[in-house]
Structure 1
Amino acid sequence: MTIACILVILPFCLALAAFSDLLTMTIPNRVSAILLGAFFLVAPFAGLDLGQIGFHMAAAVLVFAVCFCLFAVNIMGGGDAKLLTAGAIWFGLDASLVAFLAYVSIFGGLLTIAVLLLRRQENAILASGIPVPQLLLTAKKIPYGIAIALGGFAAYPSSPLMEAVFAQLG
């Protein structure tokens, strides 16, 4: 059961957040709450001791502090900050967190370029009948939850929890 939770919870919540952000430009608070709560339920059964759980919490606190500053100066949305923080706890304070944040940055840059290009071609897209969420074209925001999800998918195999799963399966 623990293995199934590790394999499913983070990817499912990230995918849900990405689709919600794409369609509504919001990330539900319950997604971040589920990620945080599930981590604390799964981590002990995955073999993480209190010290390791503390390092995972430190990762989340560090990411939250940076995200809070970015939110305070209106660079990052609140839902993005919460999702990034909740995702960070699943990676811990190690190289997998750096990979997660690097992937999020790369995908975020590509996403921003793609959305800006789409917005420049708004009339052509609307005339062609290609189904594109209206908010994607009209909102002044970038649905960064997509980049957070893609970064999470790319980095998750190197996370301590997934390495524990691979050790149990292999």
Structure 2
Amino acid sequence: MEALAGPLALILPVVAVAAAVHDVATYKIPNWMSAVLLAAFIPAALAAGMEPRAIAIGALLGLLALFAGMGLFAANLLGGGDAKILAAMTPFMGVAALPQFMLFTALTGGLVALIFLLARKGPSWLRARGPGWRRRLMTPGEPLPYGVAICVGALAAYPAGDIGRVAFGG
């Protein structure tokens, strides 16, 4: 199982980049991306040498993140795909990297909001150029692709977690 540790640990970064790009282009994060993470968590955790208790705690943290995400979705503060990818990434963080994950996600979310607020107030001729997905991103009043912040937060915090240390040789 140790031979699979590195490849399994790299699943989160690959899915995170794909999810962020997909969110920017479509304002959606496909369910299969969250499903891949959920399916990979236990094998990746076992390959990384995590104890069963730590794996169970990671799964519980993911469930709690799902409930929090559902609440934010119900309040229209987070998209459904964002809530699901947040919940699917959380177990990979474990207790060690969870505070960093939440902090980096919040900081990146604030930065994304500021960038789009400023860009959307720019000249209309600039906002009207480019492909359809870019024009939608630049349209005032459109939602923000918060999945980008979640994915950046995950990528920034992941090396501090048990599985991430395996992926990044920490």
When the two structures are superposed, what TM-score results if normalisation uses the length of structure 1?
Answer: 0.88
State the AA in 2 paired with 1:62.
Answer: L
| 1:77 paired to 2:74 | no
Q: Are 2:127 and 2:138, in contact at CA under 8 Å, matched by a contact in 1?
A: no
1:4 aligns with 2:11: no
Task: Provide the C-alpha distance between the structure 2 equivalents of 1:115 and 1:37, rounded to a whole number of angstroms.
Answer: 34
Q: Structure 2: which amino acid aligns with 1:143?
A: P
**How many residue pairs get matched?**
165
Q: After TM superposition, list the pairs within 5 Å mapping 1:1-170 onto structure 2.
A: 1-6=4-9, 8-92=10-94, 94-121=95-122, 123-126=124-127, 129=129, 133-138=134-139, 140-164=142-166
Q: Identity of paired residues, percent?
A: 36
- By how many angstroms is 1:124 displaced? 3.7
Q: Which moved more, 1:116-125 or 1:55-64?
A: 116-125
CA RMSD of aligned residues (A): 1.9
Mapped partners of 2:89, 2:119: distance in 1: 28
Residue 108 of structure 1 aligns with an amino acid whose one-letter code is G
Q: Distance in 2 between matches of 1:148 and 1:49?
A: 26
Structure 2 gap ranges (5+): none
Moved segments of 4+, more than 6 Å = none
Structure 1: tracts of 5 or more residues without a match = none
Higher mean alpha-carbon deviation, 82-91 vs 132-141, is at 132-141
Contact 1:122 1:137 survives alignment (8 Å)? no
